[in-house]
Structure 1
Amino acid sequence: MSTALFINVLMSVCAYVATVRLIPTLKDMFLKANLFGIDMNKKEKHKVPEALGVATGCSFLVALFLFIPVPFWGYILDDEKFPHDQFVEFVAALLSICCMLLLGFADDVLDLRWRHKLLLPTIASLPLLMVYYVNYNSTTVVVPLPLRHWLGYAVNVGFLYYIYMGMLAVFCTNAINILAGINGLEVGQSVVIAASIAIFNLLELRGPLRDNHEFSLFFILPYLATSLALLKFNWYPSQVFVGDTFCYFSGMTFAVVGILSHFSKTMLLFFIPQVFNFIYSVPQLFRLVPCPRHRMPRLNTSTGLLEMSKATAKKGEIHPLGRLCLRLFSLFRLAYVKEGDEGDVEVNNLTLINLLLYWRGPTHEEALTKILMMVQVVGTLVAFAIRYPLAALFYDL
């Protein structure tokens, strides 16, 4: 372990302690500022402080601001050898994360519309893409073995690669936000993803791209530490809600390390449950099927268990493509679809949470969160299986 990485670990531990102490202090302040939500999945409707993800983000940023000189300490007195490109990468990464944290908090306060949720990560990722263009501008993609006979060893996709990286930032920030609605889920899935990235970086430290993976660890370790502190308060029963602030901050952090450390495709592998949830949600997200404002599961007050939530509409109100999707989902038991005598159609809200409740039946909220965490862990194991054994077959590694 390098000295810089060792110091980063120590600062991450300090960031964890600081966050654990900061959150209880901010809870009352947020309630006084009317930044709170009501936990709809509880019998007693108490006010819960909202947007406490900002505490995690601030602790993370303070830790990394203090850490900035550490990797470059040996070069500070020698201007000729100073790695200006690496320094600019570090600062640009912090700028993008800081912008996303600010925009996420604005969303929690102002309740922005969905089109803004897509636009904000795109804007926040621009410093990141500009630095990538100036320092690397590498847009070449290695072609898998079965296709090299027709496409050659590599293909230069040009500007399309920048579009892909911008879309990666948008996907990472919103994918976590879409798979949400029960205590501990947003932070829990993010912690598993961050731990997966950290393990991947540690495995690759002995490889030729050591510096890239060490750069990633500089960001992921403080993020993991502060998120674990937040999870302590957000786990069932939640004392605080994380808000869109945490989801945006998390997604941009993942996008930053994936892009600047050059493992964006591997990064997506750690989002397998989120990718499935997004594809499964497409009929509702694009309004092919009626989509209520909130798609979280509903509480059965008599049993205290969560049940799948449903959307209801007239058959004529559903887009033809939506009806086709529902037939396919129903055929493969991927959705609960019930047609009434008067032409009404009832379908479960198309999220991974409701799908598990459809398969499993009514479940306690804490148990459901644990099941979804296990799904995330299984997704990580699949990701590592694809990244190493299967990738070796397709890319002759």
Structure 2
Amino acid sequence: MAADVDTDTTNNLEIMYFPIVINLLMSIGAYFITVRLIPGIKDKFIKANLFGIDMSKTTSDKVPESLGVVTGCSFLITMFLFIPIPFGNSLINGDFPHAEFVELLAALLSICCMLLLGFADDVLDLRWRHKLLLPTIASLPLLMVYYVNFNSTTIVTPKPLRELIGYSIDIGLLYYVYMGMLAVFCTNAINILAGVNGLETGQSVVIAMSIIIFNVVELSGNLPKAHQFSLYFMLPYTATTLALLKHNWYPSKVFVGDTFCYFSGMTFAVVGILGHFSKTTLLFFIPQVFNFLYSSPQLFKLIPCPRHRLPKFNSKIDRMEISTTNFKYSELNILGKIVISLFRMFKLIKWQEKDGWVVTNNLTLINLVLLYCGPLHEAKLTSILIAIQIFFTGVAFVIRYPLASVFYDV
């Protein structure tokens, strides 16, 4: 009997790890193909007028933009070729897992839709209200599959509250609202924290590798199939994004565009929702959450928000400096004055006032780093921001494991 149990365990492990190994090998191949594909195709983007000028350089060379569509397509092609691998054994045995198959297709559909809509944004330069609407539309296939396959809207309450409200609460429709908002946040959070060479791709690689580490740790846990599903997406995503980072790092030879930010955000939302670890996914976005909260006064027009909040380039010293906005303090509403006062109290802004006019730095994490560290070379600025992302990944794991055990049964 013991021998039979050992044999079954070995077979189950082989079934679990075989597709992951194949996926990893395909991802390595996708990396090398994408690394070579980007230089060969970037001139076509310039010919199609998809280019920009790097404002942080002394040159005015045309830099091809929206190259995120190339990595997105490489990712999708890898995933399409991979589809038969995890289901081959089921086809032979005649117990095809239709629910899992539909899950995979719906996830790819949402990512594909977001890639298309992101490219449309790069070409058409859509307004901010459209940037909020597009991820909501693209997440609908994802939410429908979650409803059909799982429809679990129950959340476990923290231990200190269980005597008052019970072990768990069914929040119903609010859970779907939360998942839809997660997709909107993930797609826009990377887009907001951007503007220096390598930052969008660098932070995305750190987030993706954090999720991969979490998935590998949890493969032996209660939901191995969910984390196996996540690895199917994260391995090729990380490989293709590393290929893009190679060309996007300082001095950037290509720009990634909103296409990459939307594609990345939706990929993270897909694995978080269908992998049943959406709260943990948010933990890996701590710098992006802070950047969003810090930017909110400008995003919601409590204080003036220029179209571009990128740091300024000082060509005389080849350094990046804070960018600023100016306004009349007397013209701010009550909420705006309260927020500004709090930011001044915690020394989160530069404050200069003369003749009723106020000059402050634009409210982004990039400008905040420059405020504290002074003018920085662009490559060093990006490195510091990536280091912040890595540090808070460590914080996320501390919250997820040692601290979570205090409030939950983990």
TM-score greater than 0.5 by the shorter chain: yes
Q: Which runs of 5+ in 1 are unaligned?
A: none
SS in 1 for 2:57: coil
Query: Please, which of 22, 34, 43 is the counterpart of residue 49 of structure 2?
Result: 34
Is the Cα contact below 8 Å between 1:290 and 1:318 reproduced in 2? no
1:379 paired residue number? 392
Paired positions, count: 395
2-side partners of 1:317 and 1:54: how far apart? 43
2-side partners of 1:66 and 1:143: how far apart? 41
1:60 partner letter: F
1-side partners of 2:92 and 2:388: how far apart? 49
2:78 partner letter: A
Is the Cα contact below 8 Å between 1:296 and 1:309 reproduced in 2? yes
2:90 matches 1:86: no
Is the Cα contact below 8 Å between 1:118 and 1:170 reproduced in 2? yes
2:71 partner letter: T
2:12 paired residue number? none
2-side partners of 1:301 and 1:321: how far apart? 37
Is the Cα contact below 8 Å between 1:165 and 1:259 reproduced in 2? yes
Report Cα offsets for 1:292-331 as digits up to 9, x if no partner. 0000100111111000000011223323211211111111
1:166 paired residue number? 180
1:281 paired residue number? 295
2:311 paired residue number? 297
Is the Cα contact below 8 Å between 1:309 and 1:349 reproduced in 2? yes
Instruction: Report deviation, 1:78.
Output: 4.5
2:291 partner letter: N
2:320 matches 1:332: no
2:220 matches 1:206: yes
2:41 partner letter: L
Per mean C-alpha deviation after superposition, the further-off stretch among 121-130 and 301-310 is 301-310
2-side partners of 1:230 and 1:317: how far apart? 44
1:355 paired residue number? 368
2:26 matches 1:11: yes
Is the Cα contact below 8 Å between 1:326 and 1:337 reproduced in 2? no
Instruction: Report deviation, 1:149.
Output: 1.1
2-side partners of 1:339 and 1:274: how far apart? 30
2-side partners of 1:146 and 1:375: how far apart? 32
2:325 paired residue number? 311
1-side partners of 2:409 and 2:150: how far apart? 25
2:22 matches 1:2: no
1-side partners of 2:312 and 2:332: how far apart? 23
1:57-206 superposed matches below 5 A: 57-79=72-94, 81-206=95-220
1:247 partner letter: C
Runs of 4 or more consecutive aligned structure 1 residues displaced over 3 Å after TM superposition: none
Is the Cα contact below 8 Å between 1:270 and 1:380 reproduced in 2? yes
Instruction: Report deviation, 1:76.
Output: 1.7
1:264 partner letter: S
Superposed CA RMSD in Å reads 0.8
1:88 partner letter: V
**Identity of paired residues, percent?**
68
1-side partners of 2:38 and 2:318: how far apart? 28
2:62 paired residue number? 47
Report Cα offsets for 1:330-379 as digits up to 9, x if no partner. 111111122112x1111100000000101111111000000000000011
2:159 partner letter: L
2-side partners of 1:382 and 1:245: how far apart? 29
2:374 matches 1:365: no
Q: State the TM-score, normalizing by the size of structure 2.
A: 0.95
SS in 2 for 1:76: helix
Q: State the TM-score, normalizing by the size of structure 1.
A: 0.98
SS in 2 for 1:333: coil
SS in 1 for 2:313: strand
Report Cα offsets for 1:158-201 as digits up to 9, x if no partner. 00000000000000000000000100000000000000000000
2:51 partner letter: F
2-side partners of 1:189 and 1:21: how far apart? 22
1:32 partner letter: K
2:10 paired residue number? none
Query: Please, which of 404, 407, 410 is the counterpart of residue 391 of structure 1?
Result: 404
1:110 partner letter: L
1-side partners of 2:55 and 2:247: how far apart? 18
2-side partners of 1:130 and 1:337: how far apart? 48
Instruction: Report deviation, 1:120.
Output: 0.2
Is the Cα contact below 8 Å between 1:76 and 1:82 reproduced in 2? yes
2:33 partner letter: A
1:53 partner letter: G
1-side partners of 2:81 and 2:91: how far apart? 15
1-side partners of 2:162 and 2:354: how far apart? 53
SS in 2 for 1:27: helix
SS in 2 for 1:339: strand
Report Cα offsets for 1:48-105 as digits up to 9, x if no partner. 00000001000000000000010000112454x2100000000000000000000000
Instruction: Report deviation, 1:396.
Output: 2.9
SS in 2 for 1:346: strand
